[in-house]
């Protein structure tokens, strides 16, 4: 079910270097959301900018009551340009136009019955994984988070995963926290050690997703990739978010409606 509604800002907290956690009161959307799906959110209560911005569901809840279920959802966002900069000025009580939930998210039950789902996050690509890890835990499926960022200031939310029973593997490009290098290094080790027992879900910048897809392809491990694009509409009509399809007849897939989550073999990077 899709809702177009006014959502109310409940909190807007800074967590790291230009990284914020926005809490929105929107019961209909919160109850319908699935991990890996997203909303199109107005960046400011003023009419500018005109276009809403795509943002993933990061966390759902808390519940209004056991009978009503969740009433809020959270968005983890990083300042990228004018719209996300305006979002940093949002205060409790502001109302924003919001459309969602949109898109196809991560599978709730991995296809090949793996022993473990490996969540691979690059930078703000962490955003969909608190919700995903919570659902995996609820389904009794083991998971591991590999979380890479440029440096320690961009690492946020690690405690959310520890509270869910996880022990995130941290990697930074400058070595300021965790292992030094790229998140694909511990991924390659996991694929080497347990290629029959894992499935990979990844979200992050395109170069990281390409590298994840390559490691998984070479290791014969299934992967699901959450892609990004500039999204003018978010619901399939503007054709502004195409990605080349990996199929004999060629053509394009729309990231907003066919994705944002794709099986690695569905797309041609």
Q: Choose which of 7, 22, 24, 55 interacts with ligand FAD (CB under 6 A).
A: 55
- Helix, strand or coil, per DSSP, at residue 24: strand
Decide: is 2 part of the binding site for ligand FES (CB under 6 A). no
Residue 99: CB minimum distance to ligand FES, A: 11
211 to 240, contacts with ligand FES by CB under 6 A?
231-234, 236-240
235 to 254, contacts with ligand FES by CB under 6 A?
236-241, 254
Q: Choose which of 75, 146, 156, 211 interacts with ligand FAD (CB under 6 A).
A: 75
Decide: is 29 part of the binding site for ligand FAD (CB under 6 A). no
Decide: is 161 part of the binding site for ligand FAD (CB under 6 A). no
**228 binding partner (options ligand FES, ligand FAD, none; Cβ < 5 to 8 Å by kind):** ligand FAD
Q: Say which DSSP state 168 is in.
A: P
Nearer to ligand FES, 63 or 257 (CB): 257
Stretch that binds ligand FAD, among 77-85, 135-143, 169-177, 191-199 (CB under 6 A): 77-85
207 CA to centre of own chain: 16
Decide: is 77 part of the binding site for ligand FAD (CB under 6 A). yes
Nearer to ligand FES, 76 or 233 (CB): 233
Q: Which residue is nearest to ligand FAD (CB)?
A: 81
Q: Please, are residues 122 and 146 in contact by the beta-carbon 8 Å criterion? A: no
68 to 97, contacts with ligand FES by CB under 6 A?
none
Residues contacting 50, CB < 8 A, separation 6+: none
Closest CA to 97 of 49, 52, 34, 30: 52
Q: Please, are residues 57 and 51 in contact by the beta-carbon 8 Å criterion? A: no
Nearer to ligand FAD, 197 or 240 (CB): 240
Q: How many CB atoms lie within 10 A of CB 13?
A: 10
User: What DSSP element (H or E) covers 8?
Assistant: strand 3-16
Q: How many CB atoms lie within 10 A of CB 246?
A: 15
Q: How many CB atoms lie within 10 A of CB 29?
A: 28
Nearer to ligand FAD, 77 or 106 (CB): 77
Give the CA diameter of the chain: 53
Pairing of β 72-78 and β 19-25: antiparallel
Contact residues for ligand FES, defined by CB under 6 A: 231-234, 236-241, 254, 256
């Amino acid at each position: 079910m899709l809702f177009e509604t006014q959502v109310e800002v409940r909190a807007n907290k800074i967590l790291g270097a230009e990284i914020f956690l926005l809490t929105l009161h929107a019961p209909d959307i919160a109850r319908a959301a699935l991990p890996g799906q997203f909303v199109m959110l107005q960046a400011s209560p003023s009419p500018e900018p005109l276009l809403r911005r795509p943002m993933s569901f990061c966390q759902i809840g808390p519940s209004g009551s056991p009978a009503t279920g969740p009433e809020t959802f959270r968005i983890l966002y990083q300042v990228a340009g004018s719209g996300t900069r305006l979002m940093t000025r949002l205060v409790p009580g502001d109302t924003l136009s919001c459309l969602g939930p949109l898109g196809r998210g991560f599978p709730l039950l991995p296809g090949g019955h793996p022993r473990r789902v490996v969540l691979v996050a690059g930078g703000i690509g962490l955003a969909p994984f608190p919700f995903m890890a919570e659902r995996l835990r609820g389904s009794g499926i083991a998971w591991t988070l590999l979380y890479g960022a440029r440096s320690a200031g961009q690492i946020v939310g690690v405690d959310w995963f520890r509270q869910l029973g996880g022990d995130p593997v941290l990697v930074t490009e400058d070595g300021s926290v965790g292992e030094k290098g790229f998140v694909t290094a511990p991924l390659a080790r996991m694929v080497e050690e347990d290629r029959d027992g894992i499935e990979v879900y990844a979200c992050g910048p395109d170069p990281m997703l390409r590298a994840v897809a390559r490691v998984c392809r070479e290791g014969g491990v299934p992967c699901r990739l959450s892609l990004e694009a500039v999204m003018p509409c978010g619901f399939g009509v503007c054709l502004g978010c195409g990605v080349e399809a990996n199929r004999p007849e060629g053509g394009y897939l729309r990231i907003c409606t066919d994705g944002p989550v794709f099986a690695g073999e569905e797309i041609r990077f």
